[in-house]
Amino acid sequence: MRVSRTNRLAVLLTLVLAVPACAAPGRPVDLATVKSVERPRPVGARENPTPKSTEVKPVPACDATASLPPLDPMPTPGEMPAGSTMREIQDAGKLIAGVDQNTFLFGFRNPTTNALEGFDIDRVREIARAIFGDPNRVQFKVVTSLGRVPALENGDVHVVVRTFTATCDRWQDINFSAIYYVAGQRLLVDRASKVTRLDQLGGEKVCAAEGSTSIKTLLDHPADPVPVQVPNWTDCLVMLQQGQVAAVSTDDTILAGMVAQDPNVRMVGPRFTEEPYGIGIPKEDEDMVRFVNGVLEQSVAEGDWADSYDRWLGRTGERRPDPPPLRYRD
Amino acid sequence: MVTVPPPERLAPARRSLLVMPATAMRHARRSATSSPGRLFVIGVALVMLALVTGVVGALAVQEKQDAIDNLIEHREPVAAASQQIYRSLSDADATAASAFLSGGTPPAALRERYELDIAQAGANLAQAAADVAEVPEAQRQVDQLAQQLPVYTGLVETARAYNRQGFPAGAAYLREASGLMRAKLLPAAEELYSIDFRRLADEQAHARAFPWGSTALVLVLLAALVATQLYLTRRTNRLLNIGLVVASGSVVVGLVWGSVALVLESVRIADGHDTGTRQVELAVQARIVALTMRANETLTLVARGDGGVYEEDWKELAPKIGGDGEENLLVRARGLAADAETTAVLDAARQNAADWLALHGRVRELDDGGSYENAIALAVGDGPDGAAAVFTELDANLLRAINNGRTQFVEETTSARAALTGLVPGIAVLSLLAAVGVTMGIRERLREYR
């Protein structure tokens, strides 16, 4: 009896132990495999923004590069004529200028000194010097490419000096000074890239700043590149360095600033647009437009323009062009 | 227990192990028809019920103790660690922006602070990661944090290198880093911390829930004992059976002891939740709000006139740490403060917050009025009256309030556990006593039939 009970127990035990052994063989626990990584992007970067050109509003033909004739004679600094816009600015004690702090060589914040510097910033200081006799009586307000026209329309700033292309479209809402520099859109690619023309970039991502003339050119280009828009020009350099875009396309001057920051990128191909830079001024302040044009005349005549060019754009290694002729409407 | 029939009937049952339970049942049914047989069955059932009740009750109390230990040793520290992750990351972001604003080579103090923040975030992330295995939602947040934190620090170091060369690409990298922080890291940290606080609150609720099941079982046992006593009294005309009286007595003792201990425990866990956890949570929220506002303050200055969104964000958050409104988290936390010290710390924090809000107004005035350099000096400069110093003090006071709340939690919860001391062995002994009492009492009656 004792034996049989032990036997039964043994059988039971064998069964109990054998059952799990029949189950499927164990598999190692899955590793935490990551197959793709989402790259960080500049804040506000957007792919394929809706083409602006579809909402075509007819723009009357105009000569965008011709401004109002300069004041003659120019008032003495610190003695602006009563009732003028310049007088208001003089009484307020400072010139409020909309500028960029992210575009190397034109308007950028020097991280060592915290001061804003560049070719555009020099233009602002010339205007301040002409009003106050002191180039430092300026309050800088950073505006994005997109925010330039609204800042002038809302009266937030007295002038906008920010690689601002004079176009007939923009002339409808604001005034431009005479043209103080002519840039042209080109292409910036990695040194290793074989691309030389925008035609080769069909379906590829190309970066430009929101609200710029460059992004419009990309949107309308027949090769159909994929425009990626960012709030600031240097964001394009970041995206190019991170391999998130195939190229950056904008004014050669802005691209030159990127080359100066990173010798591993280069500008390629010819200029395919012409971008005349003017100083933006509110529509109603025509006296200010004439005053600023007078300041530009003086700057060119006295060699300040050339000094400023050498200081900032001279480091790109290209020969200094003659200042663009200041043109006026009769 | 079921298989203990009277001794003289055991022999046939031995024939087969497998038929034994059936045989026992048959015997039990047959014997229940006779008086001594019925008495025997009642006795066995009562002994079983007493023992089962003892086991169930002891297990329930043991489970409560384990839940409390888990609160103190895991849940609360993990919740604290995950709020620390948020705090460290947010502070790192604000510090990186301040260092950028100060221009040139950033001050050593800011560099150190940033490094500490990142190290702190990493260490606390490791602690939080050890605990998310069974919560997929928390696991996702930890994954996100662990994947993106190295990317963030990489971007910040790239920004630093470009800044040293004097190129604006540094600012662009810093903007990208800050964007990553605000879009991915901080939301993940916030989600993780709210998950962890929710888990803490859930387990606190679980630890203080009254064990109705076990209590019902005890009441059933008591009723059965009383009914048996009544049955015996009717049958034998003897008023009391000593064994059953002892059994009933020990069940009553167990019931009263258990109820008092559990109610005490529940009250203390609740205190630990209200004056501890809840207060910590409010202080943590206040700290997060303050950090976000500080980051907004510096980013507005970094944007230099283009920072309207940051300032709007700042204004929206301001009532949460300033003013006397119901919205003010500091006021609400103060209402829950357990002791004078915490009250004082929170009052100091309110004062800091008020000072800082006033300073911020001054910073905006300077910046909007064109005195950018002065605005920066006031906002991130190291003067004792600057916004940076006042903010640091506010953060330190909030940390003190959080630590006080944590201590309060541990004290209350530990005392909750103390209320249960000895209850498990107590229940075991009492249920054994009840079983022995029943056995003695029934055997005495059975003997009378011989």
ipTM: 0.85
pLDDT in tens, A179-230: 999 999 999 999 999 999 999 999 999 999 988 889 988 988 899 999 999 9
Pairwise CA distance, residues A44 & A41, whole Å: 8
B304 is in which domain, residue-wise?
Answer: 41-449
Q: What was the pLDDT predicted at A2?
A: 47
In a domain, B23, yes or no: no
pLDDT in tens, A7-23: 655 555 555 555 554 55
Q: B253 falls in which pLDDT band (50, 70, 90)?
A: very high
Length of chain B, please?
450
Give the gap in angstroms from C-alpha A109 to the nearest C-alpha of chain B: 7
Average pLDDT over residues B30-56: 86
In a domain, B11, yes or no: no
In a domain, B8, yes or no: no
- What's the whole-model pTM score? 0.83
Residues in A touching B179 (Cβ below 8 Å): 40-43
Burial class (CB in 10 A: 0-12, 13-18, 19+), B323: middle
Quote the percentage of chain B above a pLDDT of 70: 92
Closest CB to B175: pick one of A5, A43, A261: A43
Asked whether residue B27 carries a pLDDT value surpassing 70, the answer given is no
Q: Does B373 touch chain A (CB under 8 A)?
A: yes
Q: Do A139 and B306 lie within an 8 Å CB cutoff?
A: no
CB-defined contacts A:B, below 8 A? 104
pLDDT in tens, B417-431: 999 999 999 999 999
Average pLDDT over residues A12-35: 65
Give the gap in angstroms from C-alpha A128 to the nearest C-alpha of chain B: 14
Pairwise CA distance, residues B284 & B248, whole Å: 51
Asked whether residue B343 carries a pLDDT value surpassing 80, the answer given is yes
Residues in A touching B376 (Cβ below 8 Å): 114
Q: Does B169 touch chain A (CB under 8 A)?
A: yes
Residue of A nearest to B160 (CA): A111
Closest CB to A142: pick one of B175, B183, B303: B303
- Structure-model confidence comparison of residues A29 and B112, the more confident one: B112
Q: Please, which residues have CB within 8 angstroms of residue B229's CB and are 6 or more apart in sequence?
A: B240, B241, B244, B245, B248
Q: Does B449 touch chain A (CB under 8 A)?
A: no
Q: At residue B292, what are phi and psi to the nearest 5 degrees?
A: -60, -40
* Across A106-110, B42-46, B293-297, B382-386, least confident range: B382-386
Average of per-residue pLDDT values in chain A: 88
Q: Do B168 and A42 lie within an 8 Å CB cutoff?
A: no
Residues in B touching A109 (Cβ below 8 Å): 168, 171, 304
- Collapsing DSSP to helix, strand or coil, A185 comes out as strand
- Collapsing DSSP to helix, strand or coil, A68 comes out as coil
Average of per-residue pLDDT values in chain B: 88
In a domain, B312, yes or no: yes
In a domain, B18, yes or no: no
In a domain, B22, yes or no: no
Q: Do B304 and A101 lie within an 8 Å CB cutoff?
A: yes
Residues in B touching A114 (Cβ below 8 Å): 101-104, 373, 376
Residue of A nearest to B184 (CA): A40
Chain A residues in contact with chain B using a Cβ-Cβ cutoff of 8 Å = 1, 5, 8, 32, 34, 37, 40-43, 94, 96, 98, 101-104, 108-114, 138-144, 147, 232, 234-235, 237-238, 260-262
Pairwise CA distance, residues B195 & B198, whole Å: 5
Cβ–Cβ under 8 Å, residues B85 and B128:
yes
- Which secondary-structure segment (H or E) carries B41? helix B35-70
Cβ–Cβ under 8 Å, residues B419 and B77:
no
Q: Do B305 and A142 lie within an 8 Å CB cutoff?
A: yes
In a domain, B21, yes or no: no
Residues in A touching B100 (Cβ below 8 Å): 111
Q: What was the pLDDT predicted at B13?
A: 41
The amino acid occupying position A171 is W
Q: B408 falls in which pLDDT band (50, 70, 90)?
A: very high
In a domain, B69, yes or no: yes
- Residue carrying structure tokens 């003897």: B238
Judge if the upstream peptide bond of residue B187 is cis by omega within 30 degrees of 0: no
pLDDT in tens, B125-153: 998 888 887 889 999 999 999 999 999 99
Instruction: Indicate the number of domains in chain B.
Output: 1
Asked whether residue B301 carries a pLDDT value surpassing 80, the answer given is yes
Residues in A touching B143 (Cβ below 8 Å): 32
Q: Do A114 and B101 lie within an 8 Å CB cutoff?
A: yes
Q: A50 falls in which pLDDT band (50, 70, 90)?
A: low
Distances (CA, A) of A63 to A56, A255, A297, A324, A329: 20, 27, 20, 15, 9
Q: Do B172 and A235 lie within an 8 Å CB cutoff?
A: yes
